[in-house]
Amino acid sequence: MSEVLDVLVNELPISTWRYNDEPGSPRHLGPMAQDMHRLFQVGDGKAIPVVDFLGLLVCCVKELGHRDRELRARIGELETILRGGEAVDDGKAAVSARCEDQTG
């Protein structure tokens, strides 16, 4: 899943366009079907199947949730270190403690 997020964020171009057969139609924003097909092998390069695009987005949401949990755990570890082994409930306490140490 990590690869899907990285490709979606770093390699998938986002464009604006209007449909040729709808003069005066509103401008649309999103990926092109050709790019989705090239990067993820979904669709036929002419249209983006909604179910495939939703599947890719769900993969990305799951990966972001995983990264969030890892970062929160790491922040907790660092806050504990900053407090000298004492558990900290939020980041404000750690910052406050550092300021007090520096000002005496």
Residue 1, pLDDT score: 72
Helix axes 91-103, 50-82, angle to 10 degrees: 30
CB count in 10 Å sphere of residue 90: 10
Question: How confident is the model over 89-98, as pLDDT tens digits?
Answer: 555 665 566 5
Query: What single letter denotes the amino acid at residue 51?
Result: V
What is the C-alpha to C-alpha distance for residues 99 and 104, in angstroms, rounded to an integer?
A: 9
pLDDT band at 22 (very low <50, low <70, confident <90, very high): confident
Tell me: pLDDT of 101 over 60: no
Residue 24, pLDDT score: 82
Question: How confident is the model over 24-77, as pLDDT tens digits?
Answer: 888 889 999 999 999 999 999 999 999 999 999 999 999 999 999 999 999 999
pLDDT band at 2 (very low <50, low <70, confident <90, very high): confident
Q: How large is the average pLDDT for residues 76-101?
A: 70
- Our measurement of the distance from residue 79's CA atom to the centroid of its chain's CA atoms, rounded to an integer in Å, reads 25
Domains of the chain, residue spans: 2-103
